[in-house]
A and B are shown apart, each in its own frame.
Chain A
Amino acid sequence: MSFINYASREINCKIVYYGPGLCGKTTNLQYIFNKTAEESKGKMISLATETERTLFFDFLPLALGDIRGFKTRFHLYTVPGQVFYDASRKLILKGVDGVVFVADSQEERLDANIESLENLKDNLDEQGFDIEKIPFVIQYNKRDLPNVTPLDELSRLLNERKVPELEASAMTGEGVFETLKAVAKLVLNDLKKGG
């Protein structure tokens, strides 16, 4: 749910990175944080376990620039991907404006991707979102690894809605900003229709 503030002339949008455990959601945010100029970002907050697994969420506020005299701010969140953190995932989806599904391209994670995507659909539905309409992009991450599922197969299995899909390697940063840009575009276009 975007927040349009006429008093401070700002638009705030919430984007959630979703996906199975260890698919690279936190790595996406870390890369964005590292590559963003000081004046355009706030602190990155990671509520994580001692082994660096996301426990509740990561949060990164970005101020991208102006559109039509409004400061555009994006609040990026990741969910904890491990299956048993479902209650937390539901909370983080509240008020979301756009979703990035980060898939782990490794063959052995195919089932985990499908399961996580089903879980996303259930949780969005439970929050009253229209799964067919919410701004949504898919990132096929870890393309740098040798044992990856071919793209067309991933696309066939995960991208029923034919939303924008991108290849990435979050560790090196390849495709990370392209993904953010793709979802931001959908969110802002949505604002244009709905506002």
Chain B
Amino acid sequence: MIGPQSSLVMYEEEYQQIVVLLEKLLQESNSKVIFLVDKNGQLIAASGETANLDTTSLASLTAGNIAATGGLAKLIGEKEFSILFHEGEKDNIHISIVGGRVILVVIFDERSSLGLVRLRVKKTSMELASVFEELAFRSEQESKSADSVSPFAEITDDDIDNLFN
């Protein structure tokens, strides 16, 4: 298990696998935009028509939304609500939790349907969950192995000061 203080780490290889899965879901579900967010609100990956979207804000609000409904769920004795759906006039948002840890968001319009999105999301979720399992395993291995050097081990106070100039 990943404790509250450990970092989420993403490597190139797993990132590519995730992007491929998102692209495939985008096509198979006929949706407009798909993104994947960490439960703490950090954007992990996005695909589709993201050019005019503020994905950082979307990520943070999605995580807030999941956190709030998760709080509601606990109050009525549920573990969590694993799927949320918001219906708009043109666009709809389907939000689901993958592997207990990350949030998959699918935005779609009349070219698709809730049924189709649901179906495709279900399959992709399982595939994504296994990538995240591998990722958790890998980052644990790497943090244990003695010869792995963190790129941040050498950070100096000067480096940090320079950020604010």
Contacts and interface: CB of A to CB of B under 8 A. Distances in A.
Interface of A: 1-8, 11-12, 14, 42-43, 45, 47, 56-57, 59, 61, 64-65, 67-70, 72, 75, 87-88, 90-92, 94-95, 127-130, 177, 181, 184-185, 188-189, 191-192, 194-195
Given A68-B154, A94-B39, A189-B155, A61 B8 contact: no
Interface stretch (B64-72, B80-88, B91-99, B109-117): B64-72
B8 A4 contact: yes
A11 B44 CA distance: 12
Contacts of B8: 1-4
Given A3-B7, A3-B10, A4-B7, 7 more contacts: A1-B6, A1-B7, A5-B9, A7-B10, A43-B54, A88-B68, A192-B152
A94 B40 contact: yes
B145 interface: no
B60 A75 contact: yes
B76 interface: no
Contacts of A87: 71
9 contacts: A1-B40, A3-B7, A4-B10, A47-B64, A57-B64, A59-B61, A75-B60, A181-B164, A185-B160
Contacts of A5: 9-10, 15, 44
Contacts of A177: 164
A68 B39 contact: no
Dominant secondary structure of chain A at its interface with chain B:
mixed
Interface of B: 3-12, 14-16, 38-42, 44, 54, 56-57, 60-61, 64, 67-68, 70-71, 150-155, 157, 159-160, 162-164
Nearest to B61: A45
A57 to B, nearest CB: 6
A97 to B, nearest CB: 9
A184 B163 contact: yes
A128 B4 contact: yes
A33 B121 CA distance: 37
Given A2-B7, A72-B163, A56 B68 contact: yes
B13 to A, nearest CB: 8
Contacts of A88: 68, 71
Given A42-B56, A45-B60, A195-B152, A188 B160 contact: yes
Contacts of B157: 185
B38 A61 contact: no
A6 B139 CA distance: 11
B151 A70 contact: yes
